[in-house]
Copies of this chain bind each other. A is one copy, B any other.
Amino acid sequence: MAQAGRHFLQIPGPTNVPDRVLRAMDHPTMDHRGPRFAELGQRVLKGMAGIFKTSGRVVIFPSSGTGAWEAALVNTLSPGDRVLMAETGHFATLWRELAERLGYLPEFIPGDWRRGADPDAVEDRLRVDSAGAIKAVCVVHNETSTGSTSRIDEIRRALDAAGHPALLMVDTISSLGSIDYRHDDWGVDVTVAGSQKGLMLPPGLSFNAVSDKAMEASRSAQTARSYWDWQAMSGPNETGFFPYTPATNLLYGLAEAIDMLNEAGLENVFARHDRHGAATRAAVEAWGLEVLCQEPRHYSSVLTAVLMPQGHDADAFRRVVLER
């Protein structure tokens, strides 16, 4: 079937890229060792700190979000280290598999994929790890596969209550810039993010926000690393440069996207998503359908998963969406 008009992505991400961002990206590539680049580099590093709500360090990689998952682990852990992860859905599972491939020992707190991470289960597990074998706790903030958003503030309190020294790592790939998130206030050690969702960019950039504690851990971590190495980034980043060629044109788009978020006001953007999420759930309820997420406190503002009713075929439904 021939299709006329403008195509809109009907998927959880990559999201629609605003024209302002596309236009910003299609300028000629500049010298990444020259003075104009230094301004751009400082602008996006500082701007991203604002989005993460951190006064600490931000690292930007020319990679997809998966790379920032990997960077969080290889900079802070040594081969064989134990990692506690919360099974919130498909992306939590992918992160666990990645940890295994890299030689770590992930342990899953099982979940039913219908709610966010359980802070009590985290606390219970950490309390019995009196030897401190667990080096990191990893949680996906917003699970794209389920529409559940974990309460990171509560996970932080779970670590504190258990008095456990593990690093707290949070994947915000599908929440940063869309749902309230506070790297510093919530005591997160490594936040993982990507360009293609709330930041309104095409895929190709990923991010770590890094606490002093995590940076300290990276000094003794024994995993061999080069591309993802935070230390190598530190020096050049101070003046707005990068140790190897950055994805310059995506950084043009990033600068524009940060401006757009700040012009709108982050809190206003969050409120808009909250309103849209509530509207979507109201529609689902009115249609007599069931939202996948069963815990109202974990409803995602940016994504609502709906159960396909008995007797209907999800593949057939998706085919109609795609064709029409």
Contacts and interface: CB of A to CB of B under 8 A. Distances in A.
Contact of A63 (B6, B9, B65, B227): B227
B202 A248 contact: yes
B11 A22 contact: no
Contacts of A70: 226-227
Interface string A1-31: 0101111011100111111001101111111
B28 A249 contact: no
B204 A101 contact: no
A245 B196 contact: yes
The count of identical subunits is: 4
Interface residues of A, number: 64
B23 A248 contact: no
Contacts of A17: 28-29, 249
The 5 A-B pairs with the shortest beta carbon distances in the complex, nearest first, are A204-B247, A202-B249, A66-B244, A26-B26, A103-B224
Interface of A: 2, 4-7, 9-11, 14-19, 22-23, 25-35, 61-67, 70, 79, 98, 101-103, 194, 196, 202-204, 223-227, 229, 244-250, 264-265, 268-269, 272, 322
